[in-house]
Homo-oligomer: A and B are copies of this chain.
Amino acid sequence: MGLPSIAEKMAKQQKEIAVSEFFERNKQVLGFDSMIKSLIVAVKEAIDNSLDACEEAGILPEITVRIDQIDKTEYKITVEDNGPGIVERNIANVFARLLYGSRFHAVRQSRGQKGIGISAVVMYGQLTTGKPATVRSKILDRDVAVEMDLILDTKSNSPKVMRTDYVIWEGKPHGSRVAVAIKARYISGKQSVFEYLKGTALVNPHAQITFIDPSGKQFVFKRATDVPPAPVIEIKPHPEGLEIGALMGMAKITKSNRMSIFLKNDFSRISDRVAKDILEKASVPPEKKPQTMAIEDAKRIIEAIAQVKIMAPQTDCLSPIGEVLIKKGLKNVLEDLKPSFYVQPVTRKPKVHSGHPFVVEVGMVYGGQIPPDSQVEILRFANRVPLLYQQGACAVTAAVENVDWRKYGLEQRGGKGIPFGPAVIIVHLASTKIPFTSEAKEAIANVPEIRDEMELALRVVGNSLRSHLAKGVRRSKIKEKFDIVQIVLPKIAEKASGIVDKPLPDLGPTITKIMDVVWIDDKVEFDKKRHSITIDIYNYTPTGKAFTLYAVVPAENLVLGGINPRPTEVKDGRIKWELKRIPSTEKATIKIELQGLDKDAYDENELYASGIDSERIVGAEPLPGDWGIAAAVIEGEEEKAPADEEENGVDYDDAKEDISNDE
């Protein structure tokens, strides 16, 4: 039968494989699956390293990327930064050993995490050109820079130093430079190095990036701000989403010798009281040694964690871009398309996946010269890194496809899939851990918690879009009537009464008969760093109208300068008025002053109304059904509602006037 010898024969072939050999043979999981892409991957990994190092050291990044063509299919990529440099004894391992790095165990937002990226580039370079990589590094407390030629020995996953030299690096107090030759193809246009750098600049406005292309042409992406992102703080793991095996593993190696201390010290957001609650619910004695934790203990602790209220993770381990910079970035990058509308971006409150905090941010532009008949373009970013490939595999795409965009004014077959229309959507995920689908870090895995947050943020942006579009459509329909009652009718009345020498008739009943709507006319003016918003509410109906009005304002970087009349509530970037009855044919006016915003940060009012038939109001949309989800991120001091009055409805100071008296 030959079977025993087969089991034995198979046994002889079973052996261990070095991780480097594995990745060398599966280079596509690192992103090296085409010559065009390989070039971008190499640039990306080097830049990620440079930006991370600069930010950790609190340095404003200055990065130069240079691409030289060596022959038909060989390019040399050189990336130089002004980071802190790498100490000599670690250079070889950092650049030529896979799974070697400093950020793997840290719970905080960073671009690189896995200790694979740049070493993988070095490995791919030597695989495709046979050449070593050259690394130069200078740290501040040494007089000279060190320069090495490095090879990664894939059979053993260890670096081989081919050459070490010490050199004077003119004008460089500290920094590093890596040069790698790889088989590649250089292109311009979409999914090119240039586009990649443009995207990087968009989400890293504090970085200055210089690009020298193969023809020697130089492009500079200037830094848009001299303020580096707030430094991210390393936190302990949050207990939410913890797995049994992970808990047991931590318990085994903890330095604490009581369960209660272990929970408090080794996790974030567990206080003495919370630890006590958890252990009580789990029926685990607080004095028990963590090292003796049994499976059943672990199981019950995990269950208890789900029942006990634990604070959301602190957010200083994250570095979201922010609503203001997203809008600014979009205006910068997409100005060629002259969009007619920049939807107010959304930065969501932090949530947790598998113990890791994350924040979702979404922006959108609409109209102008964006092709109206194509699929909506989706720009994806993770921890301030553009994602150019594998859109189809990404949770961002899944989230966009899951939203029924027909509700928000885009075309979409069956309410599923990527919508069509003149729009660009930008989605950024910031997290202490981005769950990429592969080591190539091209797509975010479809983790339900993350995808759900993205969908919610997209719906908020969708509501803004609908509000904008509906405004236009309904207004233009009724505009004609409005012109009649506002301009033509009074003029006719005036002339007519002049001719027949009779007093001006009361036009009110005629006007309300023609219009029969509450008409809201609003505008935004910007002057001396202030946005002045005026909302005129004309009651062109036969009866008095009282209803609730909401205005959406940016939740971020905002100082509310003055609101008149006083709102009922200000929360999460929403101002709410329970308006007093406006008599038929009369007008009410609301004035708001916003301070501290760039001109671009606010250019169109987004108004919603409730307590009034939506057919009877023009200029404010009905309150969205999913309005509850639109809670924005910041609840700053300046936004606290001045709710010291307990009256039902607010007063207008001087907003009353008879609107039938034209002008």
Residues of A within 8 A of B (CB): 1, 3-4, 6-8, 10-11, 13-19, 21-22, 25-26, 28-29, 33-34, 53, 56-57, 59, 84-87, 89-90, 93-94, 97, 99-104, 106, 114-115, 126-131, 139-141, 154, 173-174, 183, 243-246, 248-249, 295, 298-299, 373-375, 390-394, 397, 413-414, 417, 420, 433, 435-440, 443, 445-448
Provide 12 A-B residue pairs closer than 8 Å at the C-beta atoms, listed in order of the A residue. A3-B141, A10-B56, A13-B103, A14-B102, A15-B100, A17-B101, A17-B114, A29-B439, A29-B445, A130-B244, A374-B414, A392-B393
CB within 8 A of A1: which of B19, B140, B417?
Answer: B140
Cβ–Cβ < 8 Å partners of A102 in chain B? 10, 13-15
A245 touches B29 (CB 8 A): no
B139 touches A7 (CB 8 A): yes
A28 touches B140 (CB 8 A): no
Please, how many angstroms separate the alpha-carbon atoms of A435 and B295 in the complex? 39
**A372 CB to nearest chain B CB (Å):** 13
Cβ–Cβ < 8 Å partners of A25 in chain B? 104, 433
B127 touches A445 (CB 8 A): no
Please, how many angstroms separate the alpha-carbon atoms of A183 and B243 in the complex? 9
A3-B140, A13-B102, A245-B130 known; A29 and B436 CB under 8 Å?
Answer: yes
Cβ–Cβ < 8 Å partners of A394 in chain B? 392
B99 touches A295 (CB 8 A): no
CB within 8 A of A34: which of B3, B97, B103, B446?
Answer: B446
B437 touches A28 (CB 8 A): yes
Cβ–Cβ < 8 Å partners of A295 in chain B? 129-131
**A50 CB to nearest chain B CB (Å):** 13
Please, how many angstroms separate the alpha-carbon atoms of A13 and B234 in the complex? 13
A99 touches B7 (CB 8 A): no
Cβ–Cβ < 8 Å partners of A19 in chain B? 19, 99
Cβ–Cβ < 8 Å partners of A18 in chain B? 99
A33 touches B3 (CB 8 A): no
Please, how many angstroms separate the alpha-carbon atoms of A78 and B590 in the complex? 69
B435 touches A438 (CB 8 A): no
CB within 8 A of A33: which of B10, B94, B435?
Answer: B435
Please, how many angstroms separate the alpha-carbon atoms of A299 and B130 in the complex? 9
Chain B residue at minimum C-beta to C-beta distance from A420: B413
Cβ–Cβ < 8 Å partners of A417 in chain B? 375
Chain B residue at minimum C-beta to C-beta distance from A137: B7
Cβ–Cβ < 8 Å partners of A183 in chain B? 243-244
Known: A7-B174, A128-B244. 12 other contacts (CB 8 A): A3-B59, A3-B139, A15-B100, A15-B101, A17-B104, A29-B445, A127-B246, A128-B245, A129-B244, A130-B298, A375-B417, A437-B438
**A20 CB to nearest chain B CB (Å):** 10
B245 touches A127 (CB 8 A): yes
Cβ–Cβ < 8 Å partners of A397 in chain B? 392
CB within 8 A of A445: which of B33, B106, B139, B299?
Answer: B33
Please, how many angstroms separate the alpha-carbon atoms of A446 and B33 in the complex? 7
Please, how many angstroms separate the alpha-carbon atoms of A443 and B28 in the complex? 11
Please, how many angstroms separate the alpha-carbon atoms of A420 and B19 in the complex? 43
Please, how many angstroms separate the alpha-carbon atoms of A87 and B438 in the complex? 33
Cβ–Cβ < 8 Å partners of A392 in chain B? 390-394, 397
B97 touches A16 (CB 8 A): yes
**A381 CB to nearest chain B CB (Å):** 18
Cβ–Cβ < 8 Å partners of A94 in chain B? 14
B29 touches A85 (CB 8 A): no
**A436 CB to nearest chain B CB (Å):** 7
In this complex, which of A86, A90, A447 has the most chain B Cβ atoms within 10 angstroms of its Cβ?
A: A90
Cβ–Cβ < 8 Å partners of A131 in chain B? 295
A436 touches B244 (CB 8 A): no
B7 touches A87 (CB 8 A): yes
Please, how many angstroms separate the alpha-carbon atoms of A435 and B26 in the complex? 7
Cβ–Cβ < 8 Å partners of A440 in chain B? 437
A245 touches B57 (CB 8 A): no
A8-B87, A19-B19, A19-B99 known; A245 and B126 CB under 8 Å?
Answer: yes
**A178 CB to nearest chain B CB (Å):** 16
Cβ–Cβ < 8 Å partners of A420 in chain B? 413
CB within 8 A of A29: which of B34, B57, B433, B437?
Answer: B437
B87 touches A445 (CB 8 A): no
B437 touches A390 (CB 8 A): yes
Chain B residue at minimum C-beta to C-beta distance from A394: B392
